[in-house]
Amino acid sequence: MRILLVEDNERLLQFLAAGLRSGGLTADGFATLAEAEAALATVAYDAVVLDLGLPDGDGLDLLRRLRTRGSSVPVLVLTARDGIDDRVRGLDAGADDYLLKPFAIKELLARIRALLRRPGHCLGVVLSCGDVTLDTTTRQVAVADQVVPLSPRETEMLEHLLRRCGRVVPKRALEEGLYGFQDEVSSNIVEAVVSRLRKRLSQVGARAVIHTLRGVGYMLAEPEA
């Protein structure tokens, strides 16, 4: 899943981005409201992690604009403001969750996973299609209870396909979900990752297979009986 990070402390921003990537998420980090607005206009993010004290305004202003535009993207507010009134203002402005600084990266990851499990965002902690499963917390992939070692990128690709099991996932959506602005993406990178993932699933005899719809995208599905 692709996450937008908005935090003006460069050191903390880099720490957060690395932590989210270690948890299997793609992260784009920006330090200003203007940059965040531009990113939101370009990418359909799965969640936003938003600091409030930014150099060009208050993060709550961005949050209010998102909700006014009808955006339902989950927003987790990160802030050092620990007053009850501050938290109430954030929640009333449309925040889905609130995390006070300082915090542990594992708690941030857990809260983001919880947001993504809410209706309309995810199916649960363990995603499955046929005999293929992925535990989104441990990042462990199994086929018929046999653990299958995958690279982080292959695991991320599988997660996207599992979340939409039986439905076509456009190639562009996979590119946007798997790669951030800082990544160099070649024209055939999605095809290459899908090819490796398809081969690994085939090697362990998975019933669910990845179908290619040329010019459209990919679909993970179990063959009909």
Per-residue pLDDT of the chain (225 residues; tens, 9 = 90+): 889 999 999 999 999 999 998 888 889 999 999 999 999 988 889 899 999 889 999 999 999 998 888 888 899 998 887 777 877 888 888 888 988 888 899 999 999 988 887 755 545 678 889 899 998 878 899 999 899 999 988 998 998 899 888 888 888 888 877 777 766 767 788 899 999 999 999 999 999 999 998 888 899 998 765
Strand partners, 77: 50, 98
Model's pTM, two decimal places?
A: 0.66
The CA distance from 115 to 96, in Å, is 8
The CA distance from 122 to 4, in Å, is 18
What integer pLDDT is reported at residue 203 of this predicted model? Answer: 92
Domains and CATH numbers, the chain: 2-116 (3.40.50.2300), 126-221 (1.10.10.10)
